[in-house]
Structure 1
Amino acid sequence: MYRDAIGKRSPKVKNVVERGLVRRFAESIGDLHPIYVDEETGKNSRYGNNIAPPTFPRVFLSGNIEGLKLPGKGLIHGEQIYHYERPLLVEEEVFCYSVIEDYYEKEGSTGKMGFLKMKRYGEDANGKLIFTEESVIIITETVRRAMQV
């Protein structure tokens, strides 16, 4: 179903690690650690600035992959793994893009399920890697049938 999309990537999209958004994100996950929200703590830290929580890249845009059409509902979030070269600094620009890594299918108790493996990259303004995010999207038989109609 999505095998022909393997290897395709989106264009880079500029994002900013905005202070107010970091605070709201930290509040939403229930982790108001001072390194995320207190400016004095950030200034005195080894980073010289506040940093964003590890799962913060979920709010970043990473562009659309041409030809990839996913349904707006019914998908299952299967897995998500982050790897960091360094923390995200508050107020820095981050350029993100996505790549389709793999697609495979397995037979389940309710029919065939598709597994779409994607990888997002976040780079600084000089193109140096800051983080990667690997995720798996599960497409159930019900969603697969609805897409073919």
Structure 2
Amino acid sequence: MFKDSIGKRSNKVKNIVERGAVKKFAEAIGDTHPLYLDEETGKHSRYKQNIAPPTFPRVFDYGIIEGLNLPNKGLIHGEQIYHYERPLLVGEEIYCYAEVKDYYEKAGKNGSMGFLVLENNGEDINGKAIFTSTSIVIITEAVRKVLTV
């Protein structure tokens, strides 16, 4: 169903690790560690400034992968894995893009299920990798039927 999308990627989108957004995110997830929020703590850390929580890239814009048209509802979030080269620094610009890494199908109780593997990437201004986030989106038989109509 989505095999022809493997390898497709979005254009890079500039995002900023904004202090206010980091504060709201940290509060929302219940992790108000001073390294995320307190400027003095950040200045005295090994990073010399505040950093964002590890799951913060969830709020970034990764652009649109042309031709990958998923419905807004009915999908199942199967898995999420983050890999960091270094933490996200508050105030820095991050250039993000998404890529379809794989698609496969398995038989389930209610028909075939599709597994779409998406990778979100974040790079610094020089194009050096900061993080990757791999997620698996499960496409149920009911959603597959809607997509093929």
Common topology (TM > 0.5):
yes
The percent identity for this pair of structures is: 68
Q: What secondary structure, in the 3-state scheme, does the structure 2 residue paired with 1:69 have?
A: coil
Q: What secondary structure, in the 3-state scheme, does the structure 2 residue paired with 1:49 have?
A: coil
Match of 1:78 in 2: 78
Specify every segment of 5 or more residues in structure 2 that has no aligned partner in the other structure, as ranges: none
Q: What secondary structure, in the 3-state scheme, does the structure 2 residue paired with 1:98 have?
A: strand
- d(CA) in 2 for partners of 1:5, 1:147: 14
Tell me the CA shift for residue 101 of structure 1: 0.4
Specify every segment of 5 or more residues in structure 1 that has no aligned partner in the other structure, as ranges: none
Match of 1:111 in 2: 111
- d(CA) in 1 for partners of 2:148, 2:83: 35
Q: Deviations over 1:45-78 (max 9, x none)?
A: 1101000000000000011001110011000000
Q: What secondary structure, in the 3-state scheme, does the structure 2 residue paired with 1:121 have?
A: strand
2:5 maps to a residue whose letter is A
May I ask how many residue pairs the two structures share in their alignment? 149
Matches within 5 A, 1:86-97: 86-97=86-97
Tell me the CA shift for residue 147 of structure 1: 1.7
Q: Deviations over 1:118-149 (max 9, x none)?
A: 11110000001000001000000011112222
Length-normalised TM-score, structure 1: 0.99
- d(CA) in 2 for partners of 1:116, 1:9: 14
- d(CA) in 1 for partners of 2:136, 2:9: 16
Match of 1:139 in 2: 139
- d(CA) in 2 for partners of 1:85, 1:146: 39
- Aligned CA RMSD, in angstroms, stands at 0.5
Q: What secondary structure, in the 3-state scheme, does the structure 1 residue paired with 2:54 have?
A: coil
Match of 1:64 in 2: 64
Length-normalised TM-score, structure 2: 0.99
